[in-house]
Amino acid sequence: MNLLDYVRILVRRGWIILLAVVITAGAAYGFSQAQTKVYRASQKVLLLPARNDFGLSETLRILLRSFVEFLDTDAVAQQVITTLEIDMQPGDLRSNTTISSDPTTLTIQIDVDLEDGPQAAAIATRWGAELVEWRAQKNSALRREERIEAQLLDTATYSQHRPNTRINVIAGAVLGLLAGGLVVFVLEYLESNILRRPEDVERVMENPLLATIPQYD
20 and 45 fall within a common domain? no
Q: What would the pLDDT profile of 48-102 be if each residue is shown by its tens digit?
A: 887 776 666 787 888 888 999 999 999 999 999 999 999 999 999 999 999 999 9
76 and 121 fall within a common domain? yes
Q: Which domain range does residue 69 map to? A: 38-163
Q: CB of 130 within 8 A of CB of 99?
A: no
Q: How confident is the model at residue 200 (pLDDT cuts 50, 70, 90)?
A: low
Q: CB of 104 within 8 A of CB of 31?
A: no
> Is 106 a domain residue?
yes
> Is 144 a domain residue?
yes
157 and 94 fall within a common domain? yes
Dihedral sign (CA 205, 206, 211, 212): positive
17 and 75 fall within a common domain? no
Domain boundary among 163, 178, 201: 163
99 and 129 fall within a common domain? yes
Q: What is the pLDDT of residue 178?
A: 93
59 and 152 fall within a common domain? yes
Angle at 65 between CA 59 and CA 70, to 5 degrees: 115
- 17, 146, 178, 180 from 170: Cα distances, Å: 15, 52, 12, 15
88 and 152 fall within a common domain? yes
Q: What is the pLDDT of residue 146?
A: 79
62 and 153 fall within a common domain? yes
142 and 84 fall within a common domain? yes
Provide the number of structural domains found in the chain. 2
Helix axes 117-139, 54-71, angle to 10 degrees: 130
> Is 215 a domain residue?
no
Q: What would the pLDDT profile of 141-166 be if each residue is shown by its tens digit?
A: 888 877 888 899 988 889 988 888 88
Q: CB of 69 within 8 A of CB of 96?
A: no
